[in-house]
Amino acid sequence: MHGELISRQITMQMMEKALSTDIEFFDNPAYYDKLTAASRDSYSLVNILWNVLECISSCITFAGTFAVLCGSNPLYGIAVLLAAFPSAIAGVRYTKSLFKLSVEQLNGERRKSYIHSISTTRQHAQDIRLFDAGGYLKERYAGIWNALFGARRKMLRKRSILTGILELLPELAILGITIVVCFRVLSGGATVGDYSLYTGLAVQLNASVFALSSSALQIYDDKLRIANIKALDTFQNRVVNNGGKMLVAVGTIEFCGVTFAYPGTMRNVLEDISFTIAGGEKVALVGLNGSGKSTLIKLLLRFYDVDQGSVKINGTDIREYELKTLRHAFSVYFQDMQNYGFTLRENMQLADRDRTGGDGAIYKAFSDSDAKDLLERLPGGLDTYLTRIFKDDGAELSGGQNQKVALARAFYRRNTALILDEPSSNLDPEAEHRVFEGLKRLCEGKTTLFTSHRLSNIVLADRIVVIENGRIIEQGTQSELIRNKNRYAELFRYQQEKFREPIC
């Protein structure tokens, strides 16, 4: 029971560490290796307590047996101890080597687990069956497994041979003691009782040395593995929450000479970006994939900090605001939106757990995201799980339905500003029209930043900022940009001509 309580506490601490880690580390393979190792080895924090107690018990047994045997004949005790010493040294060496190998194999273990995961979960099930990729995945899994196991088997075989030989030494020492005592009994220098005493103590001493050595080696292994857990602390957050100001409402947003490159890369994603969003203004970011639109949103929410320049809200550098109040001021829809395998109600409440108003506020959010019909069709209503992993009557939603739920969650959150990254990418034209009609109402009087590849939706914006290769190349109202006949007008013409094509 105590072990389970300790294990729970360790798991909670591991979750806390992962949840408070900068987003950048989730793009770092070394971080995943360390996180995997820490999760795998967390049991060592429990084991080491029992191993220490076992070691203490073995020490007491060893000390008592050694004292009695040495009291009768010190040479016998020393002989058994010296004979066991090489095996203990070899044990330390191989414990360290096996631990080092396990660290080196972390990446391979993660790749093996990934292949197993995509083979046994729903996410990739359709593609795997369409491509008939089951055999390929099994081959990949077996190849990685064989490589990992082969390296471990090679080392374990060497250890088994060496330790098998070295563990004969104490047995030979006992055999030597037995022969010596036999000769003494035959020569009259010792009694049969002495023979029983010495040989029995020698065997007992060898057993206690073996138990002590095993406990000590296990403690050593636990110590090495606990170092894996501590290694997570080497990943220090760059986004530091040291601001003391509370952000109550979002007014003006300013990007001032912002330059940024993702950690571990050499290419700037954004170069000297400067523009201002007035309080209550609706600004659209337009550009091709990879131009830097989503990166600007991540910087505004302080998932990353700028390399040069600054981002300001209400004239104050966002680094001066307390991080939770900064993020809580926005309702956000991310392009790579995620829903959760919880009930629909829990999915909504995740966005604003302190909100009052009960289910009425949730129903309104679903209406605003054009998801009211979806909610009414679900058999369990708000109590429907958004997965069938846990409940037979759970719902597996389409891409567009998932997007509506994620939009509803963004609308449910109380806010003074909206950020919408491609809010209609998975919606059909009719649903898209209704959602943007609703957005006109929701954005009224709120500072709003949104992106969209469908330029027909840009009419919602008071101003458009066009980004290309991480730089602002033009900005203005839609009519101004079309009259300028530059990049935005070119993109707008592409989409306009597409709709003019004859229908066959």
Structure tokens at 352: 């604003």
Q: What is the pLDDT of residue 235?
A: 83
Closest CA to 394 of 434, 446, 340: 340
C-alpha span between 369 and 434 (Å, rounded): 8
Q: What is the pLDDT of residue 142?
A: 97
Q: Which residue has the higher pLDDT, 322 or 288?
A: 322
pLDDT exceeds 60 at position 125: yes
C-alpha span between 233 and 34 (Å, rounded): 10
| Helix (H) / strand (E) containing 197 | helix 192-230
User: Going by C-beta distance under 8 Å and a sequence separation of 6 or more, which residues neighbour residue 293?
Assistant: 285, 286, 287, 421, 451, 467
Phi, psi torsion values for 384, nearest 5 degrees = -75, 130
pLDDT exceeding 70 applies to what percent of the chain? 98
pLDDT-derived band at 472, boundaries 50, 70, 90: very high
Q: What is the pLDDT of residue 452?
A: 83
Q: Which CATH architecture has domain 2-234?
A: Up-down Bundle (1.20)
Q: What is the pLDDT of residue 501?
A: 56
User: Going by C-beta distance under 8 Å and a sequence separation of 6 or more, which residues neighbour residue 190?
Assistant: 181, 184, 198
First to last CA, the chain: 71
Closest CA to 316 of 325, 40, 66: 325
C-alpha span between 59 and 55 (Å, rounded): 6
Q: Which residue has the higher pLDDT, 344 or 425?
A: 344
CATH among 3.40.50.300, 1.10.150.20, 3.40.630.10, 3.40.50.620 for 244-329+415-504: 3.40.50.300
C-alpha span between 58 and 138 (Å, rounded): 46
Burial class (CB in 10 A: 0-12, 13-18, 19+), 20: exposed
C-alpha span between 127 and 433 (Å, rounded): 31
Q: What is the pLDDT of residue 434?
A: 82
User: Going by C-beta distance under 8 Å and a sequence separation of 6 or more, which residues neighbour residue 37?
Assistant: 102, 103, 106, 225, 228, 231
Phi, psi torsion values for 287, nearest 5 degrees = 175, 165
Q: What is the pLDDT of residue 111?
A: 95
Q: What is the pLDDT of residue 47?
A: 82
Q: Which residue has the higher pLDDT, 171 or 257?
A: 257
In CATH terms, are 2-234 and 244-329+415-504 the same topology?
A: no
Q: What is the pLDDT of residue 173?
A: 85
- The pLDDT tens digits for 5-22 are 777 877 888 888 888 889
User: Going by C-beta distance under 8 Å and a sequence separation of 6 or more, which residues neighbour residue 101?
Assistant: 151, 152, 155
Cα–Cα distances in angstroms (integers) from residue 495 to residues 65, 285, 485, in the given order: 89, 17, 15
pLDDT-derived band at 372, boundaries 50, 70, 90: confident
Contact at 8 Å (CB) between 348 and 406? no
Question: Do strands 316-317 and 308-313 pair parallel, antiparallel, or not at all (unpaired)?
Answer: antiparallel
Q: What is the pLDDT of residue 502?
A: 56
Rounded to the nearest 10 degrees, how much is the dihedral formed by the CA atoms of 102, 104, 109, 111? 180
Would you list the domain boundaries of the chain? 2-234, 244-329+415-504, 339-414
Q: Which strands make up the sheet holding 253-260, listed edge to edge?
A: 270-277, 253-260, 308-313, 316-317
Strands (DSSP E) contained in 280-398 are 282-286, 308-313, 316-317, 330-333
Most confident range (mean pLDDT) of 157-166, 248-257, 480-489 is 248-257
- The pLDDT tens digits for 16-69 are 888 888 988 888 888 888 888 888 887 787 788 888 888 898 889 888 888 888
C-alpha span between 38 and 44 (Å, rounded): 10
C-alpha span between 206 and 178 (Å, rounded): 14
Q: Which residue has the higher pLDDT, 322 or 223?
A: 322
pLDDT-derived band at 154, boundaries 50, 70, 90: very high
Q: What is the pLDDT of residue 35?
A: 86
Q: What is the pLDDT of residue 500?
A: 60
pLDDT-derived band at 277, boundaries 50, 70, 90: very high
pTM above 0.85, yes or no: no
The whole-number average pLDDT for the span 494-503 is 66
Q: Which residue has the higher pLDDT, 68 or 476?
A: 476
pLDDT exceeds 60 at position 413: yes
The whole-number average pLDDT for the span 316-331 is 95
pLDDT exceeds 60 at position 503: no
The whole-number average pLDDT for the span 130-142 is 94
pLDDT exceeding 90 applies to what percent of the chain? 36
Amino acid at 173: A
Q: Which CATH architecture has domain 339-414?
A: 3-Layer(aba) Sandwich (3.40)
Q: What is the pLDDT of residue 379?
A: 84
- Mean pLDDT score of the chain: 88
Q: What is the pLDDT of residue 498?
A: 65
Inter-residue long-range contacts of 109-116, CB under 8 Å, 24+ positions, other chains counted: 109/36, 109/148, 110/32, 110/33, 110/36, 111/144, 112/141, 112/144, 112/145, 112/148, 115/140, 115/141, 115/144, 116/141
- The pLDDT tens digits for 66-101 are 888 887 788 888 888 888 888 888 888 998 999 999
Q: What is the pLDDT of residue 17?
A: 84
Bridge partners for 463 per DSSP: 283
Q: What is the pLDDT of residue 233?
A: 78
- The pLDDT tens digits for 439-468 are 888 888 899 999 887 787 787 889 999 999
C-alpha span between 368 and 210 (Å, rounded): 71
